[in-house]
Chain A
Amino acid sequence: MSEKKKKSFEQDITGDGINSIKKVVETHNAASDGAIKYVLIGVCVVFLFVMLVLPLAVVAVNALKEGWAAYREAVSDEYTIKAFKLTLIAMVTATVVNTIFGIFASYLLSKFYFRGRELLASLIDIPLSISPVIAGLVFILTFGNIGWMGDFLKSHDIKIVFAVPGVILATIFVTFPFVFREIFPVMNAQGKEEEEAASLMGAGGFTIFLRITFPHMKWALLYGVILCAARAMGEFGAVSVISGHLRGKTNTLPLHVEILYNEFNTTAAFAVSSILVLLALLILAARNIVEWKAETKQKQT
């Protein structure tokens, strides 16, 4: 009896992550008195304004400072478009790879028990605690000319460092925990009994995944994918180290912004930034839609 209770409680705190903010607000409403509430609201609004709204406004204003024509020129510049394409490529590749990896990893860790399970789970979190710059350096030391795979790669004419594969690798590295972290708690809370029940009825692995496991983690997965894409798009540190800043070759949008800015080409730098901001807003919208959908779904279950 008590075990059952504990289980449903765990399910609440893990499987309900998306909705947790609602609960906090509800309990707070009941207990709060007016003054504190308005002071806190004030602090939050000022903070968000200074940290978020102001910088975004600055981006917009500066990007359009010299008028539409200059903006259009900066945005449609050859190198900007190349950087945009590379950013998209890195973002899509990293997201796809990490989605597949995240699903496999959390399926493995939530449905099977083996020695070293916890160790593996914490290894996956490493990119979150390691500085991206160091991640970039590690790749240079591994795949670069002086690195321990350098000779092998050179003799096979494979270029990773200071080339597109390096940029993609670094992006994948930095973003690989994101999908996993979103779906693992959900899959873990579900346990493995539903899968076992289905397998006893003769369902194959793929049917089980599709009919039992996947419906359960669908929203968390989508959420993780979005977070992963957002992070991949904005990645600077690791990519900066490994890319070598080759304009038109290995430059992503964030790197391109930095180059333009260092060249005192402020308008162009802000114009290119505005592309990133727009993409970020799109992702934010997608995120909110997913959250909202997941919430209505959760109410049903």
Chain B
Amino acid sequence: MYVEMRHINKTFDGFRASDDVNFGIERGQLAALLGPSGSGKTTILRMIAGLDKPDSGDILIDETRVNDLPGSKRGIGFVFQNYALFRYMTVEENIAFGLKVQKKSRQEITYRVEELLELISMKDLGRRYPHQLSGGQRQRVAFARALAPSPQLLLLDEPFAAIDAKVRRELRTWLKDMIDRVKITSIFVTHDQEEAMEVAGTIILTNQGRIEQIGTPEEICKNPKTEFVADFIDVKLGTGHF
């Protein structure tokens, strides 16, 4: 297992946001944290990234317990729900930020930024500021920025939530291709089961702070373990975009 959560509990002012969360993800997998709003998906992602601390339980990355390791030392790239691009920096500066902090040489930084701009097909837009970009372009910049310091694990919180339905489908395929290409273990949060089915190799279904089921999309569709899973998948399919 590359990422492992063992008996994780987390409460906010007495509210159980994570209730004995257990799961593991293999290296190179693309996993989706799927569940209704408020079911604790973001909380899980933030704990893996070290932005929140669990009350109890162990978080393991690459077989080492990282509970007491600051987020910046966990080898993680994080794409925030609203991208959180640095608005007073250009696209290039955004991507270069993590490398600068690591005191990489100027040459190395320039090279890496070029490479990533090419990867996200935004070579000519490097000098623009975030507010001069479309939602989809911002999302791609956020992706490149997270990848710049070459993390081992990529976490994405609702990467498509702020994008309208048409573009969303394109970006979904794009992101899947990208992740396949750079071969990075990834976890992304979504409350759209169609999205999870289409993109993820593994789905982790959350409900009220608990994990309801883990499995491939087919497993979950064919063998829903609990009533909630069956309902969630069914209801969503019934009213889905098909």
Contact = CB atoms under 8 A, between A and B. Distances in A.
Interface of A: 1, 4, 7, 191, 193-194, 196-203, 207, 211-212, 215-216, 300-301
Contacts of B87: 194, 216, 301
A1 B85 CA distance: 18
Contacts of B125: none
A197 B80 contact: yes
8 contacts: A4-B162, A198-B86, A198-B97, A200-B51, A200-B78, A202-B98, A211-B97, A216-B87
B122 interface: no
A201 B72 contact: yes
A17 B73 CA distance: 39
Interface in B84-131: 84-89, 97-98, 101-102, 129, 131
Given A202-B101, A203-B101, A4 B161 contact: yes
A197 B102 contact: no
Interface residues of B, number: 26
A18 B102 CA distance: 37
**Does more than half of chain A's interface fall in helix, strand or loop, or is it mixed?**
helix
B86 A211 contact: yes
Which of A7, A193, A197, A207 has the largest count of B CB atoms less than 10 A from its CB?
Answer: A197
B82 interface: yes
B49 interface: yes
B84 A193 contact: yes
Nearest to A8: B82
A156 B89 CA distance: 53
B71 interface: yes
Contacts of B131: 301
Contacts of A196: 51, 78, 80, 84
A216 B78 contact: no
Given A200-B49, A200-B71, A215-B88, A1 B97 contact: no
6 closest pairs, A vs B, by CB? A201-B98, A193-B84, A202-B72, A215-B88, A197-B84, A203-B101
Contact of B76 (A194, A200, A203, A301): A200
Nearest to B165: A1
A202 B102 CA distance: 7
A121 to B, nearest CB: 19
A21 B34 CA distance: 45
A207 B162 contact: no
A193 B49 contact: no
B161 A1 contact: yes
Contacts of B78: 196-197, 200
B217 to A, nearest CB: 24
B209 interface: no
B149 interface: yes
Contact of A200 (B72, B85, B129): B72
Contacts of A199: 71-72
Given A201-B97, A203-B72, 13 more contacts: A193-B80, A193-B82, A194-B87, A196-B84, A197-B80, A198-B101, A200-B50, A200-B71, A200-B72, A201-B101, A202-B98, A215-B88, A300-B129
A191 to B, nearest CB: 8
B145 to A, nearest CB: 8
A198 B98 CA distance: 7
A7 B101 CA distance: 29
B101 A207 contact: yes
Contact of B86 (A1, A200, A212): A212
Contacts of A197: 78, 80, 84, 86, 145
A194 to B, nearest CB: 5
A202 B146 CA distance: 12
Given A201-B72, A201-B149, A301 B84 contact: no
Contacts of B51: 196, 200
Interface string B129-167: 101000000000000010001000000000001100000
A79 B73 CA distance: 62
A137 B133 CA distance: 56
B82 to A, nearest CB: 6
A69 to B, nearest CB: 54
B91 to A, nearest CB: 14
Contacts of B76: 200
A201 B150 CA distance: 11
Which of A4, A193, A203, A215 has the largest count of B CB atoms less than 10 A from its CB?
Answer: A193
A216 B71 CA distance: 24
